[in-house]
A and B are shown apart, each in its own frame.
Chain A
Amino acid sequence: DTAVSQTPKYLVTQMGNDKSIKCEQNLGHDTMYWYKQDSKKFLKIMFSYNNKELIINETVPNRFSPKSPDKAHLNLHINSLELGDSAVYFCASSQGGTASYEQYFGPGTRLTVT
């Protein structure tokens, strides 16, 4: 069973388009995240939701909008795609609370904007 899954795995699109990436976790975790990993492998947190409520919203262009329909899903919608949005986007989840901050990551979505 896949713990954290993302779709699609690859996404190639043109500048100006709008696209969505979906994420689902079957671990029963309360908290979900979106990260962006650039070509130099730097991982930067974008958003975090806890029980469908936004708790972390880093300095991200408002073209990026997360949406959590329930605590098992966290989708990322991107409007007016730009070349600089090309990266690998990772979804992750964690149990929440202070017992452990261990995060479980999905396989990533490689977004290429042309």
Chain B
Amino acid sequence: DQQVKQNSPSLSVQEGRISILNCDYTNSMFDYFLWYKKYPAEGPTFLISISSIKDKNEDGRFTVFLNKSAKHLSLHIVPSQPGDSAVYFCAVRVYPGGGADGLTFGKGTHLIIQP
């Protein structure tokens, strides 16, 4: 049973426009939400995060919105650039125990920025 769902396997957006990536989660007890970006043949790299006590967090062109009542997370990229073409993973923090923070990931959305 997937705890984190990204229902759009791919998304195509024109350069300069807004890209909106969506993510739904199942457990209202999750407290930290993250977006990772992944290029082919590389490991994921951290993009932006948001705590459950907030509903918005911005970092340059990237903004993450959290709607706790809907259990929904979204990532906005404005303006979209060719280098943003990558797979984007939504992830939530889980507590395996012992002070380590494991992550549970969605399946990812492949964002393609068209020139």
Q: Do these two chains interact?
A: no
Listed in ascending order, the chain B residues whose CB lies under 8 Å from chain A are none
Listed in ascending order, the chain A residues whose CB lies under 8 Å from chain B are none
